[in-house]
Structure 1
């Protein structure tokens, strides 16, 4: 019997779209994205309003804090350099670290788990493990609980 393909949640879809946009933005070396560049992206990758809103928050927040996020990534890498990372892995890490450091309403374990799932979907075979290792080191710098009170590891 064929396995049913699970539909992605709106929040994961938004994370995937944010990573896709940031990947494209990063390889094109564009200045900060304009409303026009975001609208062009949404024309190619249609999404509902809630997905767009969350994805754009992740995109714009990540870009606003890109220097800090890249410094953290470089700090957490072991025997590796930021500029040598696969562009998609770098984009996934940027979004995940933005969530960890700037989106206190999302439990850290949710951000990490979501990043691993996005890496499995968009990255290479080893991306999930790699992302997990880097984010595990990042969790040590957080000054907040890894789970929200009453959180069972659900989607944030």
Structure 2
């Protein structure tokens, strides 16, 4: 995979890998980072680490938003890669001021093409698209999901 991704895209790939390892082993990102972990094209990019830690800290709120936006698929039925791409993208859409909603969605779709199933890009685009209008309008999507 070396050379395929660079810059912030590589950081997102690394964050996805950390999130995947945490999810697959029922651990936190902090626990993954404190032990042996695998990432492609190391060393770990600081932005990738920040994303993975941020998603992990807000995972329950992020998951609530995904649940309300994906009524046909429960989180537990989603492929683990798709679930974590959605978490990562939603975190960037809501928490990262210098990342536009469109960029977050585009990057998520590209990750889905690289790491997901044939259906992943369309599924991820659909779920994130249903959240995008609220995020772009400045709505508190975490609060909306709690209602």
**2:135 is aligned with 1:142:** yes
Which of 14, 30, 34 in structure 2 is aligned with 1:36? Answer: 34
Give CA deviations for 1:101-140 in whole Å, capped at 9, x if unaligned: 1101111110000000000000001101110000001102
Where do 5+ consecutive residues of structure 1 fail to align? 1-5, 146-156
TM-score by length of 2: 0.84
Where do 5+ consecutive residues of structure 2 fail to align? 139-147
Larger radius of gyration: 1
> Which consecutive aligned stretches of 4+ in structure 1 deviate over 6 angstroms post-superposition?
none
Query: 1 or 2, which has the higher helix percentage?
Result: 2
Q: Aligned pair count?
A: 136
TM-score by length of 1: 0.79
Two-structure CA RMSD over aligned residues (Å): 2.1
Which of 108, 115, 119 in structure 2 is aligned with 1:122? Answer: 115
Match of 2:72 in 1: 79
Q: Distance in 2 between matches of 1:32 and 1:7?
A: 24
2:12 and 2:51 in contact (8 A); partners too:
yes
Summarize the alignment of residues 1-156 of structure 1 with structure 2, pairs less than 5 Å apart: 7-34=4-31, 35-37=33-35, 40-41=36-37, 45-48=40-43, 52-144=45-137
| Residues 111 and 102 (structure 1), Cα distance of their counterparts in 2 relative to 1, 3 Å cut | same
Q: Distance in 2 between matches of 1:79 and 1:85?
A: 10
Moved more, 130-139 or 10-19: 10-19
